[in-house]
Amino acid sequence: MSHEEINQNIASIEENRSSRRSAILMGGAALAGLALGRTAFAQSATVTDADILNFALNLEYLEAQFYTIATTGMTLDQAGIATKGGDGTAGGAVTVKPNAKVAFTTPLLQKFAAEVAMDEQNHVKFLQSQLATAAVAQPPIDLMNSFNALAQAAGLGPSFDPFASETNFLLGAYIFEDVGVTAYQGAAGLISNKTYLDKAIGIHNVEAYHAASIRTRIFQAGSAVQIASQMIAAARAHLSGATPNDDIGVGVISGAATIVDNDDNGMTFARSTSQVLNIVYGGGPAGTGGAFYPKAMNGNIK
């Protein structure tokens, strides 16, 4: 999607916002009437640290695949990074268009994207090593139809290709990083082993660095891309089902930028496993999946 297409799709949305709350609610009209809500897996008292780490590993597979394909044109397996489970179960396939490598024209952005790809690959390998034989295999991942569905839900049009341009790449990355930050924030309190907790916080912090860098670049890209991010944020908040809403798009509110995605107390939004699943499944049935995980995640939290 080009800058012109984004402008055409969002021209009717008013640009003057009086509060962070109104920014969150952008795109509400486009979302009205969509049957996107659902009840996901409920966190129980019997969930283990391994369950939480495997939940994180599922998310890291998704991010690592996106960035590796965007920067190299290869999937993780093609790049020599295993996606099989600790028990030898083969990893699922990745649905993506042919020749999906992004044609970067900005050297600094290309180098940043390569850095994020390496970080996400390292997250996958680290979690696999910590979980050992308990590590789940990569589930089937969809990086094509999923983006089209989200574009429709957000009111951005019938389709969206995150690999088509640098701008589209930034918006695709924006979807993942903010969700990853909120997922780690929400899961931290569920981890009982302090060593695991320390490592999870370390990954959370890196995801937050990624998110801030991507949101800064979206802010610098101008109003059309900013408004697209606000529409995506509204879709994520709607899918999450949190009350109050738990997402802020990139823009300017009362003279201040909203580069940092935080609440009115200046703190990171936290999402439960169910709320994260609501987003990455696109509202698909609990345990069945949809959107980025068409056959659901692997593990006990799905």
The angle formed by the CA atoms of residues 282, 4 and 63, to the nearest 5 degrees, is 35
Q: What is the pLDDT of residues 190-199, one digit of tens each?
A: 999 998 999 9
Q: What is the pLDDT of residues 236-248, one digit of tens each?
A: 999 999 888 899 9
β-strand partners of 293: 290
Mean pLDDT score of the chain, rounded to an integer? 86
pTM: 0.86
Q: What is the pLDDT of residues 91-141, one digit of tens each?
A: 999 999 999 999 999 999 999 999 999 999 999 999 999 999 999 999 999
d(CA 125, CA 172): 23
Provide the pLDDT for residue 152.
86
Provide the pLDDT for residue 290.
94
- Residues 137-154 have a mean pLDDT of 93
Q: What is the pLDDT of residues 31-70, one digit of tens each?
A: 332 333 333 344 445 889 999 999 999 999 999 999 999 9
